[in-house]
Structure 1
């Protein structure tokens, strides 16, 4: 920031020029205090969100830095994540971790410095001097030595006020955009529920109403109400059930340079609701042939029956799977995509129906009892077509939302950059020349700060010479 062409009345300063050093102390054993560590900071909102209430006896060794209203906290650990916050009155005279650099401005608007440490220029410079591999960290001197454009006092307040308003508007926009993915998630689930209960194709046939609370895929539970032409059938009567297996990892020839796609739990979450073409791990054909695994045909529906219960995909080529999956090879009367959507629609129900407390598992005997509310094959095809259209529409909206969020993130930095170039207050300076010159200039402010800091320094003690 030191290379900027400065507006009239501005100067370049270091953070260390306008701040004083804070105090450190060890909490008393019987003291109860609020402790702010790095994890207490909401990095998105740049606020202290989840501080801890501790007693002095439970205080960690890093709980040493005294903070006051108006201080700015800057995390020295992983500064690229920009865990920063402005201390408000709730945390006055409390204690923060030594992992922070605590900036205590003197005669400078704290809000101005708070927005400064959120700027890309600050983040990039501090991140560029980090040390350490596991826990990259900047030093106190890196923060204190950062050069920045300092406006006159009156202009600082105007800038801070404008940024308060503009950044609040940006944050509100971001919050609204962030709600949309959750709405889209509910939309997708409602599409699936409508698909496998017959509501999505009501216009194609005459049928009775079906209860929206009915689970579309269930075990030994059938409803008296169902769409005309639809029937509850055992899934094993419509598809062949196959399990999976893991070739022995200790046998070199079973895995070295393998080329058989093999679906594991590491693949299934990314492939949920899609056709899977590639897998992270691939055994050799020798490994498959010398284990209980099988090479299953293209189009097989792969359903996770434990760990990630309910996640479902369709094999885009011949593949094998781990033992964590139940695999359905659909017959002529069952559309494999319809089965996938039915399993996805019932994901929550199936998770609950699994056995176990820590890890839910659906065992093979239970899988063999699965019953599926099945429409005629022609209607299955129509349902799949409509579901794909609606889900593609949702995916398009979600991509647009993600693009908009990326633009909003850039907008924040654009606004900050304009502020520190003086562009937000250009007209204000023209209207108020007396507030940016002479005693009101930033240069005069720096002199006053230096005088105040010099007066506050304790006198040095001198040793008496031995007589």
Structure 2
């Protein structure tokens, strides 16, 4: 089956713009880059603000069905589709807002395409800027999309949507098991911020902990048999890492020795919409190196890694991280803020008892996680087949 490719801009409509700051005594809903969850690919937290406080980037009027593609750090694939509740909101010019022409391009099909490895790889290759890689609206709109008839687009999108829904249901099961671990933590130790049980109250800076920023790899070519590099998009909200999707690089022995993750390490996402998410490296996890948007935390003998991980992920701690990160235009929460976080320190035997309970809860989740991994692999296969004319 031959595949017809056209530039995305040729099958998209013009988006209306405005300047909210010129409207007196009003409010508007603003979708900035941090409002898109890069792992879930959806708009999660638009900001309601007075028009007089509108950022200079607040310009594009969104309609339901629009597809938003972040123009910065295309490797993170910050994309989302606007639904009815987002109709009339204002998007940052940090997004390329794609409004598909209804007679030529299905919105769901376009959304699935901009999530595909083919589109992401194309944007990564065309991005410019070493420290802050970005693409322009022009580059996105000039990129091509395979374009079967609209009825075929709808069929393909429906299949991919269904597979994605199955993945989400599996992840919801994992999230429920994750909430069980949080309930165990609350029962044993209480809220680590209010500290109702009166444990020794410290800050992370008072503990013996090594913090290391992940390395940057410039202009390196991905390979099939190298070391896995952990990206922000490989980390789920439940702390699970998707090792199957990680790119691989060939690194030197010294780089591997210095930067590799070891069992018990905590990876802290320090920037973007995923700021504050963490992963705990476990005994049987594959060899990997956390990328530049992570801080690797390695606690010493007086803190059990499972306990530290649960503490940092606790809602009251996450609230501090969220509020602190939003003080800059690009959400960020780095080493100094991390060191100032409150931390309770129960006796080591209590921490170990919690770790054992958490591991038992984790074992309950091994089956749904295995199912989620299989569904991820199926979704990747369906994506490839869908956009190569084989579905």
Shorter-normalised TM-score: what interval?
A: 0.5 to 0.7
Residues 95-154 of structure 1: CA deviation (Å, up to 9, x unaligned): 110000011111211111011111111112212222224432122122112222111121
User: Does the 8 Å CA contact 2:170/2:368 hold for their aligned counterparts?
Assistant: no
Pair 1:23-2:58 in alignment:
no
> Is the CA contact (8 Å cut-off) linking 1:15 and 1:146 kept in structure 2?
yes
**Partner SS for 2:343:** coil
Pair 1:58-2:53 in alignment:
yes
Q: What does residue 127 of structure 1 align with?
A: 124
Deviation of 1:400 after TM superposition, in Å, equals 6.3
Which of the residues 285, 299, 303 maps onto 1:267?
299
Alpha-carbon deviation of 1:178? 3.2
Structure 1 residues 63 and 307, CA gap change in structure 2 (3 angstroms):
closer
- Provide structure 1 residue ranges, at least 5 long, that are not aligned to the other structure: 1-6, 194-216, 220-243, 247-264, 275-305, 314-339, 348-386, 425-467
Matches of 1:63 and 1:218, distance apart in 2: 46
Look up the SS of the partner of 1:308 in the other structure.
Answer: strand
Measure, in 2, the Cα distance between the counterparts of 1:83 and 1:411.
Answer: 22
Residue equivalent to 1:172: 169
Partner of 1:422: 389
The correspondence for 1:147, drawn from 141, 144, 148, is 144
1:399 to 1:272, Cα distance in 2 relative to 1, 3 A: farther
Match of 1:37?
32
In 1, Cα distance between the equivalents of 2:127 and 2:163? 31
Give the SS at the match of 2:123. Answer: helix
Deviation track 1:334-371 (CA, whole Å, cap 9, x = no partner) reads: xxxxxx24x555x8xxxxxxxxxxxxxxxxxxxxxxxx
Per-residue displacement from partner, 1:255-300 (whole Å, max 9, x unpaired)? xxxxxxxxxx9524995169xxxxxxxxxxxxxxxxxxxxxxxxxx
Matches within 5 A, 1:130-209: 130-184=127-181
The question of whether the paired residues in 2 share the 8 Å contact of 1:310 and 1:344 is answered with no
Classify the secondary structure of the residue corresponding to 2:145. strand
- Which residue pairs with 1:90 in the alignment? 85
Partner of residue 310 from structure 1, selected from 311, 320, 345: 345
Residue 337 of structure 2 corresponds to none
After TM superposition, give the deviation of residue 55 of structure 1 in Å: 2.2
- Using structure 1 for the length normalisation, give the TM-score: 0.47
Alignment length, in residue pairs? 253
Distance 1:95 1:184, change over 3 A: closer
* Distance in 2 separating the partners of 1:85 and 1:74: 7
For the aligned residues, what is the CA RMSD? 3.6
Q: Report SS of the residue matched to 2:49.
A: strand
Alignment partners' CA distance in 2, 1:71 and 1:415: 23
Rg comparison, structure with higher value = 1
Name the CA distance, whole Å, in 2 between partners of 1:218 and 1:14. Answer: 62
TM-score under structure 2 length normalisation: 0.55
